[in-house]
């Protein structure tokens, strides 16, 4: 009896393993559903951090990409070719991300978009550069596209932290603030913000009187805030994403600190306000224009695109957020290049690099051989939270 149980268990496991192996190898036999199409579909790969720590970025990115692909295919595809999307989840794991990139390369995709985070993007680059396949990342770190000599095939659509810090420094100067405290979450996002801000502050004549860190899963930042308060800054800058960014803000109000609180673009979703509640009011942060799309002047070149994306996304998946916007930009840039270049990786790369005046969600992109991000300072606005709503700060 026991032996029978064991036998059957092993059989089941062997069966599963067999299925898995067969599954891994079975990609070629797959037939496309659009049999009416005579033209062969274009294959594009995507890697996002759908589960694991980066899932709050990866999931809206996945949803956005699925939405666009459906739309494009229903409208007849690119040059009459349907788009076949191969999307992989890297589980927010750098090793699995590196494997996913190799898998997509082997499946013969024309270009890859993703990953969602800096670490999971950086771990794919070795394979990408070697395989000579264009990659457009949705992550922030400037390291993804620099040094440019080692990043021939790599582009990105999210705002670089350098750009965001510059925006904040400009804002601080306009308010004549020269002494700030800087608190960051202790991961790649917060670390990149800390490094860039330290550099920008030194250049811009702003002194950082206190630097504090908190873990992404921390829920009480009172000790850090107590230290910050002791240093008596004129403003506090917090570089984090919710929920820890919300906890920080709630603690800030509980301790009744009076200086202005400036956040990063990491709080660009409704959840931040929902979680922090009344504490969120008065928070100032730089962000792409998506959040205040409806409030933009009609002359703003991005307005139509932003409102359209926000409406479609919100109809299907819930409140808009900037991360989905990064994926929108990445995919649309690739599709535009594909339309011009046809199914040729080298030409697609060249076309992406030539992207000019491309109106996206995060801004108007102008790529060049020395700039694989292509966003300018005016792609961001300073937003204030007022009575639970985003408004343009004065």
Cβ closer to other proteins: 49 or 351? 49
Shortest distance (Å) from residue 224 CB to other proteins: 5
Q: What's the min distance (Å) between Cβ of 303 and other proteins?
A: 27
CB of 124 to other proteins, least distance (A): 9
Rank residues 185 and 336 by Cβ distance to other proteins and give the closer one: 185
Nearer residue to other proteins within complex by CB, 259 or 307? 259
Least Å from the CB of residue 62 to other proteins: 5
For the chain, how many residues are written?
394
Distances (CA, A) of 27 to 48, 111, 171: 20, 18, 52
Closer to other proteins by CB, 188 or 352: give it.
188
Cβ atoms within 10 Å of 41's Cβ, excluding its own: 18
Residues 59 and 55: their CA atoms lie apart, in Å, by 6
Query: In sequence order, what are the residues at sequence separation of 6 or more whose Cβ sits closer than 8 angstroms to the Cβ of residue 330?
Result: 113, 114, 136, 137, 138, 156, 157
Tokens 């929902």 sit on residue: 274
Q: Answer yes or no: are the C-beta atoms of 325 and 361 closer than 8 Å.
A: yes
Residue from 140, 36, 127, 32 nearest 86 by CA: 32
Work out how close the CB of 27 gets to other proteins at its nearest, in angstroms, rounded to a whole number.
8
Q: How many whole angstroms separate alpha carbon 303 and alpha carbon 326?
A: 16
Q: 341 vs 222, 354, 357, CA distance in Å?
A: 55, 11, 18
We find the least distance from the C-beta atom of residue 364 to other proteins, in angstroms, to be 28
Nearer to other proteins, 87 or 331 (CB): 87
Q: How far is the CB of 238 from other proteins (least distance, A)?
A: 13
Query: Do residues 170 and 93 touch, judged by C-beta distance below 8 A?
Result: no
Considering the complex, state which of residue 23 and residue 80 has its C-beta at the smaller distance from other proteins.
23
CB of 189 to other proteins, least distance (A): 8
Using an 8 Å Cβ cutoff, are 246 and 219 in contact?
no
For other proteins, which is the closer residue by CB, 47 or 136?
47
Q: Which is nearer to other proteins, 190 or 325 (CB)?
A: 190
């Amino acid at each position: 009896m026991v032996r029978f149980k064991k036998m059957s268990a092993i059989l089941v496991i062997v069966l599963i393993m067999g299925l898995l192996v067969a599954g891994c190898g079975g990609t070629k036999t797959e037939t496309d559903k659009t049999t009416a199409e005579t033209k062969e579909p274009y294959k594009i790969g995507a890697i996002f951090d759908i589960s694991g720590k980066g899932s709050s970025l990866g999931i809206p990115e996945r949803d956005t990409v699925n939405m666009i692909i459906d739309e494009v295919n229903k409208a007849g595809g690119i040059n009459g070719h349907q788009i076949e999307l191969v999307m992989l989840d890297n589980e927010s794991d750098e090793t699995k991300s590196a494997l996913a990139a190799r898998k997509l390369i082997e499946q013969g995709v024309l270009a890859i978009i993703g990953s969602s985070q800096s670490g999971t993007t950086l771990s794919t680059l070795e394979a990408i550069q070697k395989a000579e396949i264009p990659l457009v990342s949705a992550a922030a770190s400037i390291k993804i596209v620099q040094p440019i000599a080692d990043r021939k095939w790599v582009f990105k659509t999210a705002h670089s932290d350098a750009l965001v810090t510059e925006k904040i420094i400009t804002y601080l100067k306009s308010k004549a603030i020269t002494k700030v405290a800087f608190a960051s979450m202790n991961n790649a996002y917060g670390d990149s913000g800390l490094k860039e801000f330290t550099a920008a502050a030194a250049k811009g004549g702003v002194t950082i009187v206190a630097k504090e860190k908190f873990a992404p899963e921390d829920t009480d930042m009172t000790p850090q805030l107590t230290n910050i308060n002791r240093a008596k800054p004129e403003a506090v800058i917090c570089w984090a994403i919710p929920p820890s960014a919300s906890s920080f803000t709630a603690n800030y109000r509980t301790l009744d600190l009076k200086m202005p609180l400036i956040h990063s673009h990491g709080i660009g979703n409704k959840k931040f306000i929902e979680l922090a509640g009344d504490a969120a009011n008065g928070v100032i942060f730089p962000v792409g224009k998506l959040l205040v799309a409806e409030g933009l002047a009609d002359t703003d070149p991005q307005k139509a695109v932003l409102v359209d994306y926000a409406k479609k996304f919100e109809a299907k998946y819930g409140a808009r957020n900037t991360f989905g916007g990064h994926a929108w930009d990445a995919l649309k840039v690739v599709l535009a290049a594909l339309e011009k270049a046809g199914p040729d990786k080298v030409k697609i790369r060249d076309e992406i690099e030539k992207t000019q005046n491309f109106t996206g969600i995060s801004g108007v992109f102008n790529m060049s051989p020395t700039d694989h991000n292509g966003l300018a300072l005016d792609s961001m606005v300073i937003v204030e939270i007022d009575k639970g709503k985003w408004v343009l700060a004065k």
